[in-house]
A and B are shown apart, each in its own frame.
Chain A
């Protein structure tokens, strides 16, 4: 069964260091999402791609976070420098994302749990 792949599964980093997460969506999915989920809260959208283009990054802290999806397939989310408050689960999801598609459910990866010390 096709699934969204994320790595690493867990990451511990010191504050002020750089950290990167990788996501490989389900093949053929045009829409890719990065979410941040702080413990005990709902997922918060950081950035949404349609193919290689960013369609929503209004909640992305652009002074330290960046995201790219250069070939419209896999994606990388980077934080530099990391801060203590960035400790959270980072979830990647993908959906078919075509305008003509009705059942555009999103499929989630297992997430990357980031701890900043």
Chain B
């Protein structure tokens, strides 16, 4: 069954801990993205990757880290340096296509992270 799998669905973190959110896709899409969603705000881009072994900072990268060792996987680590990590995190992918400007972003089901 094709798609994007984010895990876990819910995650609780103690202050000072690092946690890693998983994002796996079998859509064979080249580009992968991590967004953060907070109530009353639009999605904000944390990191994105266009190809394996390459990734770029988004608008709010501080306190986060990523890796792209495989095309299928783009894990996000929320470090202790992130001051307000409680949020809903969404992973997305886009295919490489000649009409890139119209390609759809496909989203996973999200991970809700709560700091306790």
Q: Do A and B come from one complex?
A: no
Q: Using a CB–CB distance below 8 Å, which chain A residues touch chain B?
A: none
